Amino acid sequence: MNSTNDTSIKEALNERSGLQVWWRLLRPHTLTASIVPVFVGTMFALTEEHINLLLFLAMLLASILIQSATNMFNEYYDFILGLDNDKSVGIGGTIVRDGISPRTVLRLAFTFFAIAILLGVYICVASSWWIAVIGIVCMLFGYLYTGGPYPIAYTPFGELFSGFFMGTVIIGISYYIQTSTLTSSVIWLSIPVAIFIGAIMLSNNIRDLDGDKENGRKTVAILLGRKNAIRFLAILFITAYSLTFIYMITGILPMWSILAFLSIFKAADVIRKFRGKTNSLEMMPAMAATGKTNTMYGFLIGISLLVSAYL
């Protein structure tokens, strides 16, 4: 744990001890993928009727807990399978660099799931017990993303599953618990958000391409190659913004959603930061910028819906 390489990685990533160890375990830069869908789905519901604030907060916390637990499962199983070491970047590093017991990480992940279930019970009582079925499926796939005999994250379908469950499904649930209905408009609305969430996973896989390839993974980034994967990431961004424009024209989104196009500058920054880079540490800024793009886009869409609800 005290090797020169370990020290240099910790210094390069500005990793500190104390409470920051547990904060890093949550991988906070990825939590935007759990916050944005709940916010967007709830704000879309607000355009039609008043919302239940307690339901919104319960859904938000449950989503964050499930995402955090998924990150912990990732930390645990990548270590158990020998994929992470003290030089790995993009992880919490709590096991390989801070010496936290793998069992502690696993127990904490299941604890977060348990709390999410309790919140889910409240959400179901206030809305519908069908939410319990969907919630269990979401948690199951959160576990299977890196756990189980055939981890989804090691296949070309990681981006698809993460975008669908964290984007489309969470937006749909957030809307349904407020309105007791589900419309085609909210499904269409979820697609750009799902794309941006999938883009976070793709960025992660572009950064980790070399190490993942050595360990036998078959991610989209590996199958396409780094240059084509970056091009594909750019295509995903263009698709998301194009759909947003179409939704504004067709009335699914209000004209206020033009605000979301301010995030294009951050999306362009992602592609710029990836180009010509092959070292994982060098690509960390691009990975962080992808999360920020999702945050900016999602919150600006949500704000535009909030503004239109009161005007």
Mean pLDDT of the chain: 89
Does residue 6 carry a pLDDT above 60? no
Distance CA 97, CA 77 (A): 16
Q: How many domains does the chain fold into?
A: 1
pLDDT at 10: 60
Instruction: For residue 112, give the nearest of 153, 67, 173, 161 by alpha carbon.
Output: 67
| Higher local confidence (pLDDT), 8 or 247 | 247
Distance CA 38, CA 256 (A): 19
pLDDT at 116: 94
Q: What is the pLDDT of residues 100-142, one digit of tens each?
A: 899 999 999 999 999 999 999 999 999 999 999 998 998 899 8
Residues 6+ apart with CB under 8 A from 141: 152, 161, 165
Distance CA 85, CA 302 (A): 39
| Higher local confidence (pLDDT), 271 or 15 | 271
Find tokens 């419309």 and name the residue: 183
Q: What is the pLDDT of residues 43-65, one digit of tens each?
A: 999 998 889 999 999 999 999 99
pLDDT at 5: 46
Does residue 83 carry a pLDDT above 80? no
Distance CA 61, CA 268 (A): 31
Give pTM, 2 decimals: 0.89
Distance CA 151, CA 154 (A): 6
CATH number (domain holding residue 241): 1.10.600
Per-residue tokens: 260: 């979301």
Out of 135-139, 170-174, 197-201, pick the least confident: 135-139
pLDDT at 14: 56
| Burial bucket for residue 156 (CB in 10 Å: 0-12, 13-18, 19+) | middle
Does residue 38 carry a pLDDT above 50? yes
- Domain range for 44 is 4-309
Alpha carbon 77 to chain centroid, angstroms: 18
DSSP of 141-189, one letter per residue? HHHHTTSSSS-GGGSTTHHHHHHIIIIIIHHHHHHHHHHS---HHHHHH
